[in-house]
Amino acid sequence: MMQTIDIRTLQPSRSELARLVPRASTDVAAATESAAALIDDVRARGELALLEQAEKLDGVRPPHVRVHASEISEAVRHLVPQVRDALEAAIERVRTATRAQVPAGSVTVIAPGAEVIQRWQPVGRVGFYVPGGKAVYPSSVVMNVVPAQVAGVRSVALASPPQKAFGGAIHPTILGAAGLLGVDEIYAMGGAGAIGALAYGVPSIGLDPVDIITGPGNIYVAAAKRLVRGVAGIDSEAGPTEILVIADASADPVLVAADLVSQAEHDELAAAVLVTDSPELAVAVAAEVERMAASAHHGDRVRTALAGQQSAIVLVADLAAAAAFSNAYGPEHLEIQTEVPGEILDLIDNAGAIFLGAHSPVSLGDYLAGSNHVLPTGGQSRFSSGLGAYTFLRPQQVIQYDRPALEAVSRAIVDLSTAEDLPAHGAAVTARFTET
């Protein structure tokens, strides 16, 4: 089912490794034109455009775009008790871990009377997008909302597509999760149009523009986020989920296979990759994957994902080569199931989240580890991080000099401003010491 890539005899360069990495053939740019048209329609016609887009794309016209407070309260009341307990546990664990991400302010004394103050300010308003396609994601509500709340964001709005099965309402479990977190501004809207609505606002339904938009979605959502970047900040252009497992002969093939299958059930384009220096483990995992896929609840989806060009079993000469391959890939989720996982961790530079040992599966991070599951995909972990409190914080420098401190550097300022042919810069300083 899964292809095998054997690079045991190769000594590839970084660029060659990048070419060997298995990837799904998705091009966000291909959806740009359609996404732009949907965004422009929302900007021009507001609520009516959102209602018509829902009818066309989601197969149902919601009774209203903005969700009434009573619907949110009802959704909270009707949460299945076990689900509510699990959500409350997830909220508390994510909140605990996220608090550690808020930097403390600082004051640096450059010289007597000269201070640079570093402070961290939350953005004013955030929009969250929670998808509603092949699965229901109340956990994504938790992962998006909690970091913003911990950062101190005061105004939040949440968008999720209307569901045909619920008469055009948002899935009640998503509403319930939002209600548990105190979110009371929620909109039944999805896709590129929803991203446009969050970025530009829709006055007729009381939707003000947001400063940052976060949350995963399909290729049209990713394209829309690319289009509105600059009008609003975004977390990332999320693509299909990824798992890469580095494992040696000590790993349990059943556990490795179970973890690969767990991520493959997300989407037909989900990527599941095993990198190992053990041919015996590779054979055993391949057999287990095929066995599990045959009986999986979402069997067709799993088999398609595992058979796709984005999934593979990669044979390497040693674990150092496995780490090099993983760094070239930059996986969203990296599991290290080796005899001494800490030794491999020291070789890892690029990954969204790293799961060490046999008892730290990706599913743990999806729900209750305390870490965030909104992570960079498509190799973006090479230059970006997962969602956290820091996503919603801006560092600001506050400069405070007294007269003697400014006078002490005035000559140097004049000299530099003269060198740059910007004499008014220097004059703005010397004016403070000119007697009138």
- Number of domains the chain is built from: 3
Are residues 38 and 12 part of one domain? no
Does residue 418 lie within any of the structural domains? Answer: yes
19 confidence band (pLDDT: 50, 70, 90) = confident
Are residues 166 and 212 part of one domain? yes
Does residue 375 lie within any of the structural domains? Answer: no
Query: How large is the angle between the packed helices 138-151 and 81-99, nearest 10 degrees?
Result: 30
Does residue 385 lie within any of the structural domains? Answer: no
| Of the residues 234, 261, 290, the one at which a domain ends | 234
DSSP state of 416: H
Task: Evaluate whether 94 touches 372 at the Cβ level (below 8 Å).
Answer: yes
- Average pLDDT of the residues in 392-404: 97
Catalytic residues: 332-333
Task: Evaluate whether 157 touches 197 at the Cβ level (below 8 Å).
Answer: no
What's the whole-number average pLDDT of the chain? Answer: 95
Say which residue the tokens 């000299």 belong to. 415
SS3 call for 246:
strand
For residue 130, give every residue at least 6 positions away whose Cβ sits within 8 Å of its Cβ, in sequence order, or none: 137, 140, 141, 144, 158, 159, 160, 174, 215
Does residue 435 carry a pLDDT above 80? no
Domain CATH number, residue 195:
3.40.50.1980
Are residues 286 and 164 part of one domain? no
Please write the tens of the pLDDT for every residue from 128-138. 999 986 677 89
Backbone angles phi, psi at 40, to 5 degrees: -60, -35
Does residue 383 lie within any of the structural domains? Answer: no
Does residue 106 lie within any of the structural domains? Answer: no
53 confidence band (pLDDT: 50, 70, 90) = very high
Q: What is the pTM of this model?
A: 0.92
What DSSP string runs through 149-177?
A: HHHT--EEEEEE--BGGGTTBPPHHHHHH
Are residues 330 and 295 part of one domain? yes
Range of the domain at 73: 29-101+121-234
Does residue 380 lie within any of the structural domains? Answer: no
Are residues 142 and 55 part of one domain? yes
355 confidence band (pLDDT: 50, 70, 90) = very high
Are residues 223 and 84 part of one domain? yes
Whole-number percent of the chain with pLDDT over 90 = 89
Q: What angle do CA 326, 332, 333 make, to 5 degrees?
A: 80
Question: Comparing 310 with 15, which gets the higher pLDDT?
Answer: 310
Q: Give the pLDDT of residue 434.
A: 85
Please write the tens of the pLDDT for every residue from 34-45. 999 999 999 999
- Average pLDDT of the residues in 205-213: 97
What DSSP string runs through 3-24?
A: EEEE-TT----HHHHHHHS---
Are residues 199 and 269 part of one domain? no
Are residues 424 and 309 part of one domain? no
Does residue 392 lie within any of the structural domains? Answer: no
- Average pLDDT of the residues in 262-287: 95
| Of the residues 176, 207, 234, the one at which a domain ends | 234
Q: Give the pLDDT of residue 406.
A: 97
With 0-12 CB in 10 A as exposed, 13-18 as middle and 19+ as buried, what is 325? Answer: buried
Does residue 242 carry a pLDDT above 90? yes
Does residue 115 lie within any of the structural domains? Answer: no
Are residues 267 and 208 part of one domain? no
262 confidence band (pLDDT: 50, 70, 90) = very high
Element (H, E) at 128: strand 125-129
11 confidence band (pLDDT: 50, 70, 90) = confident
Say which residue the tokens 């003269």 belong to. 418
Q: Give the pLDDT of residue 26.
A: 67
The strand ranges marked E within 217-366 are 233-234, 242-247, 271-276, 312-315, 333-337, 353-356
Cβ atoms < 10 Å from Cβ of 64 = 15
- Average pLDDT of the residues in 398-416: 97
Q: Give the pLDDT of residue 436.
A: 61
SS3 call for 336:
strand
Q: Give the pLDDT of residue 390.
A: 95
| Of the residues 234, 264, 295, the one at which a domain ends | 234
